[in-house]
Amino acid sequence: KVHRVSVPLGVVAVIFESRPNVASDSAAVCIMSGNACILRGGSEATRTTAVLYELLETGARSAGLPDGCLNGIRTTDRAAVGALLTAEDLVDVIVPRGGPGLIKRVAAESKVPVIKHYSGVCHQYVAADADVEMAVRVVENSKCQSVEVCNALETVLVDAAIADKALAPLASAMAARGVTLRCCPASRAILAAAGTNAVVEEATGEDWTAEYLSPMLAVRVVAGVEEAVEHINTYGSHHTDGVVTTSLAVPNAFGRSVDSASVLVNASTRLSGGGDYGLGAVIGISTGKLHARGRVGAEELTTYEWVAVGDGHLRA
């Protein structure tokens, strides 16, 4: 009899910057999946993370977990990160949580496998047949629910066939939330003719790849789903991208063609992740294709081994 058994990856090192909640979230997912966990936070929240480390380590001991299964590195010395990146005999995978500088350093210097995403340049495409009221709600929530997170909206693409109808209410909603629009020439012309009260600025090439993490939104008019997909695959970060439409054909074409870890149909990009997908807590998001893609939860922190049970079986 041959069967496959899930096993933990082993020792997971999480290197994060300024968000202390990453410590508790990561520890929980690692322990739940049977992994040991090393936590190293940044200097921005040293005292808070030190308290969390103590609580987590005490809780692990009280629960009867093995000594050393959860460890918080108290020093903020950058050499500690370097030591983790070269500890290939001790650490099985590294998950960096922070800005592009941290993630690029980890990816460049690590001798240990890395699960990462560089940025969240997320899009919503408002298709030609979209319900405008729905589109406004989805875009507003995608952008404004929490502007500083990796699945917040950064670019909205509006189909040319609906731009005259959709851009003005979209701009009004953004103006009410204090969002500045960086617009292509076509969208600027439409909004100028409509007399919008939104703050409208001219977009440059840098805006299409920008992860603003602030009240700023890039706007571009596109000539159909093919051009929308081309824009996303050219300028996006393969994180989370969505489409607002009333048809079945458009999301099928969009989903097959766009190269993203998460594709949303008629839903906010802020819903991408483990909890909102009903799949539990996550340790991070992966925009790569190996070993995990999208949410990185307990299941993604496991691998498998093959077990063969014989009765004196021999190789002929």
3-state helix, strand, coil in the chain (%, to 5): 35, 25, 40
Query: Which pLDDT band, with edges at 50, 70 and 90, does 89 fall under?
Result: very high
Least confident stretch, 112-126, 139-153, 264-278: 264-278
What is the DSSP annotation of 258-272?
Answer: ---SEEEESS-GGG-
Looking at residue 275, its pLDDT comes to: 78
Torsion of Cα atoms, 224 then 230 then 232 then 233, to 10°? 150
Whether the pLDDT of residue 119 is over 80: the answer is: yes
Band (pLDDT 50/70/90 cuts) for residue 193 is very high
Output the CA torsion 263→243→138→161 (10° steps): 170
Core vs surface per residue 42-62: b (16+ CB within 10 A) or e:
beebeeebeebbeebbeebee
Q: Stretch 302-307: mean pLDDT, rounded?
A: 96
Mean pLDDT rounded to a whole number for the chain: 94
What does the pLDDT read at residue 65?
A: 95
Tokens of 246: 């009333």
Average pLDDT over residues 203-230: 97
Q: What's residue 284's pLDDT?
A: 87
Q: Are 26 and 109 in contact (CB under 8 A)?
A: no
Tokens of 197: 């009260």
pLDDT at 307 over 80: yes
pLDDT bracket for residue 38 (50, 70, 90): very high
Largest CA distance in the chain: 83
Rounded-to-integer distance, Cα 41 and Cα 53, Å? 10
**Cα 261 from Cα 279, distance rounded (Å):** 15
- At 78, the pLDDT band (50, 70, 90 cuts) reads confident
Q: In terms of C-beta density within 10 A (0-12 exposed, 13-18 middle, 19 or more buried), how is residue 27 classed?
A: buried
Residue 230 is predicted with a pLDDT of 98
Please state, for a pLDDT cut of 70, what percent of the chain lies above it.
100
Q: What percent of the chain has pLDDT over 90?
A: 86
